[in-house]
Amino acid sequence: VNSDDELESFFNHRKRRRKQKQYKLYSDDDADQVDLNRGRCVTNETESSIHTNSNILKGINNKFNELTQQLTLNSSKFDQQMNHLNTKIDLMTSTTNIISC
């Protein structure tokens, strides 16, 4: 009986021990998400902050696009007015005789 125990002890000692993977459990109460690609935990507060910042950036982008459209429209109107003014100037100079001394 003694030799059996020694034999078992010898072989148990020689067995390779594998590292056991450690898993973190998250309950529904924690309401956390695990980002497996980056290996980090994203809390609801962080996620809410990301959504808020995203909405702010979308608002800024929309306002920028709106201002760009207005600027384009205004520059187009300005170009039209300048062309109209140049046409008037050309008409006036063509009908006016300028005598140089």
User: Torsion-angle region of residue 23: left (phi > 0), alpha (psi -120 to 50) or beta?
Assistant: beta
Answer yes or no: is 69 within a domain: yes
Residue 25 corresponds to which tokens in the numbers above? 């459990």
> Dmax over Cα atoms in the chain, in whole Å?
137
Q: Indicate the helix (H) or strand (E) that contains 33.
A: strand 33-35
Total structural domains in the chain?
1
Residue 2 inside a domain? The answer is no
77 and 63 in contact (C-beta within 8 Å)? no
Q: Is residue 51 part of a domain?
A: yes
Q: Tell me which residue range forms the domain holding 61.
A: 26-94
Per-residue pLDDT of the chain (101 residues; tens, 9 = 90+): 566 777 677 666 655 555 655 555 555 544 445 445 555 566 778 888 888 888 999 999 999 999 999 998 888 888 899 999 999 988 888 887 766 66
pTM above 0.75, yes or no: no
Cα–Cα distance measured from residue 32 to residue 36, given in angstroms and rounded to the nearest whole number: 12
